[in-house]
């Protein structure tokens, strides 16, 4: 039996309540004790990690991760068309960078080469390659798209509805072994100007996608900026909705009614990067400023209505690289009015829920998986501490120390 004992820590358990002093015992990959003082016999043969008064958190979860975009804080690339062999290495590299920054689980937001993610998922799970627990995703399907990465977002006007091809896409992606199939229900103005408010699928097509996903046992995620695309996602039972930027009152009502089954990731990270770090002014039609203004109004309203909103900000672009992911927590506080505890709950407890592992992931609680991050300091006093990887003094996934204190 392998035992690790964390002592002299303040535990933020993921529920959102105030941290409390405790000792935390890990045995064979799971948390077995959380107590103010453990009996001597339970301490026997344990590796002791003295937290020095730091904060022990559940492992953090990114709800919109892109491991295949090509850029991290250690490797910047403006390409996204690397050959499959190189892309596989980039996915593995991005996974290690995520884990280095305390992100022990990732819910993928899409990959042009889904096979690289299913392979990485297996390697990360087996532990011979460092990386987060991963839910792998398809490429981002758009009705009529002939290959991944070819985006023009023409909308639905002037073309016949084609539910058969959409169902085939979902089935083909499920056949590759992904956990998630992603559909772009709206366009994206930051990619093709002026398209974020244009709906890309018919109701009939989304219904076909949902039925096929249920048949194959995969989850659906929707890229949805336009109000009607958000409504479509909710009506057809899509599990996770990205952006929700221009949600109107009807869309908000539908999201509220579905709050027990749906997750929203508004991606403030990429919006912030497009505003401040992409270089130059946004071109007309990109709607970057309008997107920022809209999401800052929509998200607080979603939270008020009890909808689970999670961090995950489209990290992986050269101007928004993997490794900066935890800036989302700062933006949740500064843009959306979250308290640090609420932002951390979104990244831990809600993260375990979106991963489909709410009974064993996302909390510091006996019986839960030992995904833990030890922070030098108090992130509830300063949420930006989590962006300094040197302040993450220990990182544990599945009871194995990826990073141990010096």
326 in Cβ contact with 102 (< 8 Å): yes
State the chain's mean pLDDT as an integer: 94
Which of 87 and 216 is assigned the larger pLDDT? 216
CB neighbourhood size of 382 (10 A): 12
pLDDT (tens digit per residue) in 16-63: 999 999 999 999 999 999 999 888 877 788 999 999 999 999 999 999
User: Are domains 3-58+362-403 and 60-354 of this chain identical in fold?
Assistant: no
Check residue 278 and give its pLDDT: 81
Which of 195 and 80 is assigned the larger pLDDT? 195
Q: DSSP letters along 165-197, please?
A: HHHHHHHHHHHTT-SEEEEE-B--TTTSTT-TT
Please name the residues in contact with 75: beta carbons below 8 A apart, sequence gap of 6 or more.
Answer: 90, 93
Helices vs strands, H then E, count in the chain: 12, 17
| Residues above pLDDT 90, as percent of the chain | 83
Element (H, E) at 402: strand 400-403
pLDDT (tens digit per residue) in 201-260: 999 999 999 999 999 999 999 999 999 999 999 999 999 999 999 999 999 999 999 999
* 3-state DSSP assignment of residue 389: helix
376 in Cβ contact with 393 (< 8 Å): yes
Q: Which option is the CATH number for 60-354: 3.20.20.140, 3.30.70.360, 3.40.50.300, 3.20.20.100?
A: 3.20.20.140
Q: What's the pTM?
A: 0.95
pLDDT of 95 over the 50 cut: yes
Kindly list the domain boundaries of the chain, sorted by start residue.
3-58+362-403, 60-354
How many angstroms separate the first and last alpha carbons of the chain?
Answer: 24
Closest CA to 137 of 177, 166, 97: 177
CATH 3.30.70.260 fits 3-58+362-403, yes or no: no
> For residue 4, what is the DSSP state?
E
28 in the Ramachandran plot: left (φ > 0), alpha (ψ -120 to 50) or beta? Answer: left
pLDDT (tens digit per residue) in 126-184: 999 999 999 999 988 766 554 566 667 888 888 899 999 999 999 999 999 999 999 99
């Amino acid at each position: 039996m392998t035992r690790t004992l964390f002592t002299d820590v303040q535990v933020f358990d993921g529920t959102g309540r105030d941290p409390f002093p405790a000792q935390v015992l890990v045995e064979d990959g799971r948390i077995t004790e959380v107590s103010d003082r453990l009996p001597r016999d339970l301490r026997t043969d344990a590796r002791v990690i003295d937290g020095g008064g730091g904060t022990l958190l559940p492992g953090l979860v990114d709800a919109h991760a892109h491991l295949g975009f090509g850029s991290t804080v250690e490797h910047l690339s403006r390409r996204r068309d690397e050959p499959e062999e190189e892309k596989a290495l980039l996915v593995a590299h991005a996974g290690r960078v995520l884990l280095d920054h305390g992100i022990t689980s990732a819910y993928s937001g899409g990959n042009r080469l889904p096979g690289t993610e299913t392979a990485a998922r297996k390697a990360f799970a087996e532990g011979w390659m460092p990386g987060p627990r991963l839910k792998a995703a398809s490429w981002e399907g758009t009705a009529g798209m002939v290959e991944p990465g070819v985006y023009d977002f023409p909308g639905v006007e002037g073309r016949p509805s084609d539910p058969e091809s959409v169902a085939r896409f979902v089935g083909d992606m499920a056949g590759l072994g992904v956990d998630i199939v992603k559909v772009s229900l709206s366009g994206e103005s930051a990619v093709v100007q002026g398209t974020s408010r244009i709906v890309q699928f018919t109701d009939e097509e989304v219904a076909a996608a949902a039925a096929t996903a249920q048949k194959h046992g995969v989850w659906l995620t929707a890229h949805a900026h336009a109000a009607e695309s958000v409504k479509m996602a909710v009506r057809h039972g899509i599990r996770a909705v990205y952006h929700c930027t221009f949600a109107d009152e009807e869309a908000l009502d539908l999201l509220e009614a579905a709050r027990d089954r749906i997750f929203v990731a508004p991606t403030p990270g990429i919006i912030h990067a497009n505003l401040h770090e992409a270089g130059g002014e946004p071109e007309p039609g990109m709607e970057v400023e309008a997107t920022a203004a809209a999401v800052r109004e929509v998200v607080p309203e979603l939270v008020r209505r009890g909808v689970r909103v999670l961090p995950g900000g489209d990290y992986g672009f050269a101007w928004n690289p993997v490794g900066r992911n935890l800036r989302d927590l700062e933006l949740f506080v500064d843009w959306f009015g979250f308290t640090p505890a609420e932002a951390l709950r979104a990244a831990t407890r809600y993260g375990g829920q979106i991963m489909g592992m709410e009974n064993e992931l996302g909390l510091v609680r006996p019986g839960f998986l030992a995904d833990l991050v030890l922070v030098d300091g108090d992130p509830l006093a300063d949420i930006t501490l989590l962006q300094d990887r040197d302040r993450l003094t220990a990182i544990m996934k599945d009871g194995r120390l990826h990073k141990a204190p010096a």
